[in-house]
A and B are shown apart, each in its own frame.
Chain A
Amino acid sequence: MKILVCISNVPDTTTKVSFTENNSKFNTQGVQFIINPYDELALTKALEITEKVGGTVTAINVGLAETEPSIRKALAIGANDAVRINAEPADAYFVAEQIANYAGSLGFDLILTGRESIDYNGGMVSGILASLLNLPSVNVITSIEVDGNTAIMERDIDGGKEKLSCNFPFVASAQKELTEPRIPNMRGIMAARTKPLQVIEAQSSAIGSSTQSFELPAPKGACKMIDASNAGDLIRILNEEAKVI
């Protein structure tokens, strides 16, 4: 089984978001970057699968050199090799196109992404990628079992769950329950230093969307306190004052 795992390099979840250059750029000053949490699940699942049925796991990132610590971490967790496509990831379409260009002829049986990248929250890369490669896509999987040439999966759907099957090759996106993320051990960290990390130049692509400016939400007014001894009054206030019930 040949598996490709797509890794997005994202600001740590505790990041206080701010912007520079007239609110046109995300302020990376002092920001700690991590592997997107859903991509860690995808990577761990890929390793669990290859440990069971054999095969290799390749990690891929579209990003500039500054993303290499995250890529090395993916190697330390257990990916066999990694690829970085050297470009600033302009939007989901651009990222998907670059990955499709790379993966097109290499015969991956399974391509895994996260459910969404926690920075831009698009949730679009896996579907675009699958469509460009003419492969089926299965979003938000919470389990996957390999049975010969077929995978049996569960996924979240609106209002419930679905069990479904799909023959390899296909693209799937990882949802929270898929597995528990693996933490790199000392041996993994040592081995990662010498594992292959290939850098490929990006191919030109029509970028369909570009961020013009960012805004922060309006600050909340002061919190109105309701006395605990009169807690039932909350319902009246929500009805008469806030008008939400």
Chain B
Amino acid sequence: MSVLVFAENSDGIFKKSTLEAISYAKEVAKITGGNCTAISIGNVNQEQLSLLAKNGAEKIISFNHDSVNNFNAEVFSKIISETAKSENSKTIVFSNTYSGKSVAPRTAASLKAAIVSGVISYPDLSNGFTVKRTVFSGKAFANVNMSSEIKVISITPNSFVINETNDALNIIPASNQVDANDFKTKSIEVSKASGKIALTEAELVISGGRGLKGPENWHLVEDLANALGAATACSKPVSDMHWRPHSEHVGQTGITIKPNLYIAIGISGAIQHLAGVSSSKVIVAINKDPEAPFFKAADYGIVGDAFDVLPAIINAAKNRA
């Protein structure tokens, strides 16, 4: 019996969210019994694979092939579900990234497994098999019981610690057969913003709202983000007016994030905005209106004009680094 975890790579590199999933799977293996097996798909070198062992993978199955360097939901779920069968896996763990969200449900359907996504707890076996997940875009949590024999769990990034276990490196080449007919969707072009920190995985996020008046003022947000090594985000109207790209829009109808630090500048704190950010560990609100609702949801607040207070904050951040 095993706990299988999808070790997603980004251009051959395992991101933090992947290592969190590995450590999570290791913990699940301790709770449910069995070993922690990772499946890696695409060209990944041994040095990277050894990171998986370092963080809990007792066995690494590697499908090291050029044909699968680009993510493909059908092919990836085929490889993962075949591996789950041959490894007799009862729990399969994913990280709730865009790729994870595409491949986890297909894997669940081919294994006839129950699936819960957005999971933020280890399974509790005291009464069946229960996990906690976020619902209503962070406005609440649900304790969900999973009753099928095989279970698929997709965890929220930045919710679990990475534990170094230093397991021995045990790499096994995958034996799956994949041919051209399996690729129903065909990639034409991939464009990645280089050097930018992905918002869903960022530990620190600096976000701007309509209070910043216009895109020409965003250098303030970016300067602070650069000084702290943070990602940038924005409120819905800001992306609707094309001041910032849609990919930065957080909230109930945008991205839900869970960073360690969220600094909201010139954002009023509407319920739909708070829904997407309220799980952040520490929230700072900067707003010139002392009555702004954001102060009720924040840990720290500064009542002031963003254009006056930001230069001092940026300076302090730069001097610290």
A positions within 8 Å CB-CB of B: 11, 13-17, 19, 37-38, 91-93, 96, 118-128, 130-132, 136-140, 142, 152, 156-167, 170, 176-177, 206-217, 220-221, 223-228, 231-239, 242, 244-245
CB distance from B289 to the nearest CB of A (A): 13
Bound CA–CA A189/B295 (angstroms): 42
Number of A-B contacts (CB under 8 A): 267
Q: Are the C-beta atoms of B144 and A131 separated by less than 8 Å?
A: no
Q: Which residues on A sit within 8 Å (CB–CB) of B135?
A: 119-121, 214
**Would you mind naming 30 contact pairs between A and B with Cβ atoms under 8 Å apart?**
A11-B136, A19-B140, A118-B136, A122-B118, A123-B96, A124-B105, A136-B185, A137-B102, A138-B185, A158-B10, A160-B190, A160-B191, A162-B188, A162-B189, A209-B145, A210-B147, A212-B143, A214-B142, A214-B143, A216-B141, A217-B139, A217-B279, A220-B298, A223-B298, A224-B300, A231-B312, A234-B316, A238-B282, A238-B300, A244-B282
Partner of B184, one of A93, A162, A167: A167
Q: Look across to chain B and name the residue whose beta carbon is closest to the beta carbon of A238.
A: B261
B46 within 8 A of A: no
* Interface-lining segment among B35-43, B57-65, B246-254: B246-254
Bound CA–CA A157/B101 (angstroms): 11
CB distance from B102 to the nearest CB of A (A): 4
CB distance from B64 to the nearest CB of A (A): 20
Q: Are the C-beta atoms of B186 and A220 separated by less than 8 Å?
A: no
CB distance from B121 to the nearest CB of A (A): 11
B positions within 8 Å CB-CB of A: 10, 70-71, 73-74, 77, 96-99, 101-106, 108-110, 112-118, 130, 132, 134-148, 151, 184-193, 196, 198, 200, 203-204, 228, 246-247, 249, 252-254, 256, 260-261, 271-272, 275, 278-279, 281-285, 295-305, 308-310, 312-313, 315-317, 320
Q: Which residues on B sit within 8 Å (CB–CB) of A124?
A: 101, 104-105, 108, 115, 117
Contact residues of B: prevailing secondary structure: mixed
Bound CA–CA A118/B102 (angstroms): 17
Instruction: Name 7 extra pairs, CB < 8 A, besides A232-B315, A234-B302, A244-B282.
Output: A119-B135, A123-B117, A131-B109, A137-B73, A139-B102, A170-B185, A214-B135
Q: Which residues on B sit within 8 Å (CB–CB) of A224?
A: 299-301
Bound CA–CA A238/B228 (angstroms): 11
